[in-house]
Amino acid sequence: MFVYADNAATTKMSATAQKVFIEAMERAWGNPSSLHSTGQQAKEALEEARARIASLLGADSPREIYFTSGGSESDNQAICSAAFYGAKKGKRHIVSTAFEHHAVLHTLMRLEKEGFEITLLDVHENGIVTAQQVREAIRPDTALVTVMYANNEIGTVQPIREIGAVCREAGVLFHTDAVQAVCHIPVNVKEDNVDMLSLSAHKFHGPKGVGVLYAKRGTLLTNLIEGGAQERGKRAGTENLPAILSMAAVMEEELGGMDSAAAAILPKRDRLIDGLSAIPHSRLNGDRVSRVPGTVNFCFEGIEGESLLLMLDEEGIQASSGSACTSGSLDPSHVLLALGLPHEVAHGSLRLSISEDTTDEQIDHILRVVPEVVAFLRNISPVWEALETGARPHLL
């Protein structure tokens, strides 16, 4: 049996997304910046997509939607913009959390080298930061608060609306990396009090290489890419029209079906949580309730995550140990370390991210195979032997 359980890494493009993408190559291949009718036809399609996405996100105006290459670019541009304009006013402090995606963390680290002061908030054992923590961290020289909407590795959802309200009250810019949230849980830029938001189409059955930076009217942006008047002069480069049109179409479709998809996914996700919790010395990472519908993340004591993944792949189950972006790294997940897990436990992690396409039979398969593979790996593990003989204390 084949089970794709890595939807937090990427999703398969939906039939609609594929159809619109291909049609766009035929129908709207012009350069939207060209003045002739082929170009203007493309321009019209581009602006229609922008208006649709603005409305789907609850934005005031299509002028607040900037098309980018995806989540990482949007994160980079949002943070660098706030830093650049903050510094002009003597504000060189940024508040974020310890378990952001590296698109955020690495950008913050670069700014730190350039003299910014970065406060990374603790996310507690349940993987949730509180608005109160943000309130306490904000200073007169804070240029930006950036907190992810939902964590990419463990799936926990942050109280974005309350954090946004705190930022509004303090007069501090607020950005959220909503890459794992949009089209999975309700997101509304106005109601959520956000000034900037990043999203990426391939996380909701859209194409790769396209995303959005929402920036509320009046939020100043600097350019990462210079060279043209596209995106109101804030992002040069001929627009990736097939991908943008496909993203707009799939977003509309996904949001329309979001509630019914969640209703289909939730019982399956909970079966996964209950079933995997029955494995001795295992742990669900992150709050059980406040999480996106499809993602679960477990640690199994005494084994290492990569060998678990390879064995699962042999059994047709495609999962990850955390973020696909860090699979080349030997270090355990920074997200799990941020939850306070010791290194040796964090090494044994498994992320399963299912979608509305996942069947009950596939869940059965996962629940049959994972305990077998964990038992096999524990059986050959000297760490497990030490745990079982009492030479090493159990941590889970």
Partner 1 sequence: MALYSEKVMDHFKNPRNVGKMEDADGIGEVGNAKCGDIMKVYLKIEDGIITDAKFNTFGCGSAIATSSMATEMIKGKSVEEALTLSNKAVVEALDGLPAHKIHCSVLAEEAVKAAIRDYYDKNGIEYDRELFCDGDCAHCHAHDEEAL
Number of other CB atoms surrounding residue 169 within 10 Å: 11
Q: Which stretch binds partner 1 (CB under 8 A): 222-230, 256-264, 282-290, 300-308?
A: 300-308
Q: Is 320 in the site for partner 1 (CB under 8 A)?
A: no
Which of 59, 94, 221, 311 is in the footprint of partner 1 by CB under 8 A? 311
CB of 361 to partner 1, least distance (A): 24
Number of other CB atoms surrounding residue 23 within 10 Å: 14
CB of 357 to partner 1, least distance (A): 22
* Strand spans (E) along 54-136: 65-68, 93-97, 117-121
Q: Is 277 in the site for partner 1 (CB under 8 A)?
A: no
Q: Judge whether 307 and 377 are in contact, CB under 8 Å.
A: yes
Q: Is 233 in the site for partner 1 (CB under 8 A)?
A: no
Which tokens sit at 310? 């390879």
Q: Is 307 in the site for partner 1 (CB under 8 A)?
A: yes
Q: Which stretch binds partner 1 (CB under 8 A): 37-45, 148-156, 190-198, 310-318?
A: 310-318
Interatomic CA distance for residues 51 and 307, integer angstroms: 46
Q: Which stretch binds partner 1 (CB under 8 A): 42-50, 69-77, 269-277, 376-384?
A: 376-384
CB of 379 to partner 1, least distance (A): 8
Which of 304, 357, 364, 388 is in the footprint of partner 1 by CB under 8 A? 304
CB of 332 to partner 1, least distance (A): 7
Q: Is 372 in the site for partner 1 (CB under 8 A)?
A: no
Which tokens sit at 110? 């670069």
* Strand spans (E) along the chain: 3-4, 65-68, 93-97, 117-121, 142-146, 173-177, 196-200, 211-215, 282-284, 295-300, 317-318, 349-353
Of 80, 167, 299, 325, which one is the catalytic site residue? 325
Complete edge-to-edge strand list for the sheet that includes strand 93-97? 65-68, 211-215, 196-200, 173-177, 142-146, 93-97, 117-121
Interatomic CA distance for residues 234 and 312, integer angstroms: 44
DSSP string of 124-158, one letter each residue = TTTT---HHHHHHH--TTEEEEE--SB-TTT-BBP
Which of 90, 171, 227, 328 is in the footprint of partner 1 by CB under 8 A? 328
Which of 306, 357, 364, 388 is in the footprint of partner 1 by CB under 8 A? 306
Q: Is 164 in the site for partner 1 (CB under 8 A)?
A: no
Please state whether 105 falls in left (phi above 0), alpha (psi between -120 and 50) or beta: alpha
Which of 22, 263, 310, 391 is in the footprint of partner 1 by CB under 8 A? 310
Q: Which stretch binds partner 1 (CB under 8 A): 45-53, 65-73, 215-223, 326-334?
A: 326-334
Restricted to residues 330-359, the positions that interact with partner 1 (CB under 8 A) are 330, 332, 342-344, 347
325 is catalytic: yes
Q: Is 382 in the site for partner 1 (CB under 8 A)?
A: yes
Burial of 324 (0-12, 13-18, 19+ CB in 10 A): middle
Give the DSSP letter of residue 35. S
Helix (H, G, I), strand (E, B) or coil at 25: helix
Number of residues lying near partner 1 (CB under 8 A)? 23
Q: Is 246 in the site for partner 1 (CB under 8 A)?
A: no
Q: Which stretch binds partner 1 (CB under 8 A): 23-31, 111-119, 180-188, 309-317?
A: 309-317
Q: Is 388 in the site for partner 1 (CB under 8 A)?
A: no
Is residue 42 within a helix (H) or strand (E), and if so which, with residue range? helix 37-57
Give the binding site for partner 1 (CB under 8 A). Answer: 302-304, 306-307, 310-311, 313-314, 328, 330, 332, 342-344, 347, 379-385
Q: Catalytic residue positions?
A: 325
